Amino acid sequence: MHEDMRALLNAYLDGELHGWRLLEVQNHLTSCESCRNELRELRAVSDLLRAAPLPEFTPAERFAANLALRLPRRPLKAQLQRGPSLTWWLAPLALMGLWFFVQTLIWLTTVLSLALSGGLLGESFSWISGSAAQSNLFAFLMNLFGGHLGTATQSTLSLLDRLVLFGNSLINQWFWQAIVALLYWLWMAVWWLRTRGRAFLPRLARA
């Protein structure tokens, strides 16, 4: 107990103890003369250290002027950072370009599909749409069982297949856009962390 308290005397002297630990040391000091003496001696050491006078130094103005003569023209790391920063700023531009490309592709596909289904393009582009709006899996199942599937089963399979086709189409349309958007937000988050966020993170971690 006594040794534990002795180890805390410096922290007590420096005002670094709080709460129950502070009370514990204060209570111990009222009853322990040895610790009171030690605290007094530690305080004397601290006072004597701080009482040591300082000599004359070069004035700040002259020191700064002398230092300016020795400074390299620019911080070396700033020069190194200039290269990557261009690449860094190209990232959102590239993502926007990718998004524009995906949008154009989807738009063209939709227009072509509508034109095909409306018969506006005749037979010249029939290779694009295929012969039927059925998935490979559905065609495989039908071939496997020949024509032996019941009508109800065929209808259910057909409905499921259409749902799968709808899902695929949805994924094709939205998947790439979602990826691009996600990458863009990721870039924004990293940018924020690099510029302002790092100052707040330690505070959040301490909170």
- The binding site for another protein (CB under 8 A) comprises 7, 10-11, 14, 16, 38, 41-42, 44-46, 48-58, 60-61, 63-68, 70-78, 81, 196, 198-199
Would you say 73 or 148 has its CB closer to another protein? Answer: 73
CB of 22 to another protein, least distance (A): 14
Would you say 29 or 106 has its CB closer to another protein? Answer: 29
Listing DSSP states for 13-49 in one string gives HTT---HHHHHHHHHHHHH-HHHHHHHHHHHHHHHHH
CB of 61 to another protein, least distance (A): 7
Rounded (10°) CA dihedral 137, 143, 147, 150: -30
CB of 77 to another protein, least distance (A): 4
Q: What is the C-alpha separation between 195 and 201, in angstroms, rounded?
A: 12
By CB atoms closer than 10 A (0-12, 13-18, 19+), residue 25 is: buried
CB of 56 to another protein, least distance (A): 8
Distance of CA 103 to the CA centre of its chain: 27
Would you say 3 or 123 has its CB closer to another protein? Answer: 3
CB of 72 to another protein, least distance (A): 7
CB proximity list for 99: less than 8 A, separation 6 or greater = 177, 180, 181, 184
Would you say 14 or 166 has its CB closer to another protein? Answer: 14
Would you say 88 or 176 has its CB closer to another protein? Answer: 88
Distance of CA 36 to the CA centre of its chain: 53
Question: Do you know the residue count of the chain?
Answer: 207
